[in-house]
Amino acid sequence: MEAKAHIAIVSIPVFTHQVSILEFAKQLIHLYKNTFHVTCIIPTISDSPSIASKHFFGTLPSNIQCIFLPPTDFEDLRNDLTLESQIQISVSRSMPLVCETLKSISTSSNVVAIIVDTFAYEAHQFAKDLNILSYRYFPCSAMVLSMCLYSSKLDESITCEYKDHPNPIEIPGCISVQGTDLPDSFQNKSSLAYKLFLHRSQQLCEADGIIINSFVEMESETLKAISQKYLCGTTPNVYPIGPIVQTRPNIQKNACECLLWLDNQPPNSVIYISFGSGGTLSHEQINELALGLELSNHKFLWVNVRAPSDKASANYLSNNEVDPLNYLPLGFIERTKGQGFVMCGWAPQVEVLKHNAIGAFLTHCGWNSILESIVHGVPMIAWPLFAEQRSNAALVTNGLKVAMRPKCNSKGIVVKEEVANIIKGVMEGLKSEEIGKRMKELQKFANCAMMENGSSMKTFSMLALKWKRLGRPIEVERWA
């Protein structure tokens, strides 16, 4: 019996990144049964995984093995480090253990390729040491990848802070964006986060290829600009294999109260609200959102409600045990009992989005959530919080035109009247119809990309067949 080709994956201590890269691995295993074995090495920050992550890792197939490294010690770090800096430092400090684990795997199996998260770029050197192919897995949009590839040129040409630049930022193949809509890492040129971002972006060219969770039909001009080296002359081949979204076995409805609630709602009547696995709002913003939902008179499902914080990513790498319902407006739960459903915990987002009661998705614009919304044809309200989410919001509103975006006041707050108006805009009227029509067209393209002869599936097969051939014990084929 022919030995399985072994793929090593290096992820990072962020659940959404782990989901994306492991869903990619699941697709590989599903399409090429009994051909590949995957080992995913995961640096960690905390000993206590979330409910959602426990469920996810419990459903992985047997030929995907996850190795969780010991938690990173952060005692010597400043408390004011950005989320991106914390992640990058955590991954960098885990690299000796990553190297040791990779060497151990390589001595007992035929490792043909290493696929690393974009934050784990240092692992590319281990691939060179082991004489195997290495790929960067980019779990964001092609537009954000373009920003990374073009970052050195932007750094040279724009001397002021990007947020202060008077004109929209132009990047080949992309829609123009305001400086304030560039990722958080761009927002302070003197910061450690910006320096780490530039360095991480420059290292993209160290890989043998970049695997990106997007698809040609959605970002054709951007992918064309990347392939024609308009952004960076040494860009490796880019492989769009999306949309890769989370898949789960069907969840019994009696195990999730929100699905039972949705069953009793009319089709396309409910707006679903979620700020992802860690996004948080200020107390003032929580109040305005809640009162706006009430004012809209539309039905709503609001999940993952959290205690307030003035730092949008406050709960991303930690768990706050304070009861967040205490921070909602007085009497809100009682007044909206027939109108809405509020829950603090995890909800099965895939099952929620494909439910026929859902009419729109108010999202923080994490890329996984955007792709899930597209796959299930659900129009969006774009409410970005941190990281690259504002860039994603610009793409879905100004580029793809499948979302609406609320306006903030001078204090950066979306007031209740704006919340109500934006909900009405995406749920009713001519504008709603236009957005819905474009989303259904994009959904069709997304589904076609993942069909047997679709653009992404062809790319997927090309990579898989190459790795399968390298798995054969014929040394001369290693770099053919």
- Cite the active site residues: 17, 117
Query: Per the structure block, which two tokens stand in for 442?
Result: 């994009």
Range 27-45 burial, b when 16+ CB lie within 10 A, else e: bbbeebeebbbbbbbbbbb
Q: Is-contact 374 442, C-beta < 8 A?
A: yes
Q: Is-contact 352 250, C-beta < 8 A?
A: no
| One-letter amino acid of 361 | F
∠ CA 379-383-385 to the nearest 5 degrees? 145
Q: Angle 15-31/455-470 helices, nearest 10 degrees? A: 80
In angstroms, rounded to a whole number, what is the distance separating the alpha carbons of residues 276 and 279? 6
HSE-up (13 A, CA, CB side) for residue 361: 33
Q: Is-contact 357 262, C-beta < 8 A?
A: yes
Q: What DSSP string describes 300-359?
A: EEE-S-----SSTTTTSSS---S-GGGGSPTTHHHHTTTTEEE-SS---HHHHHTSTTEE
Residue with tokens 């002021």: 160
Is-cis flag, bond preceding 243, omega within 30?
Answer: yes
**H/E element, 370:** helix 367-375
Residue with tokens 């009793």: 264
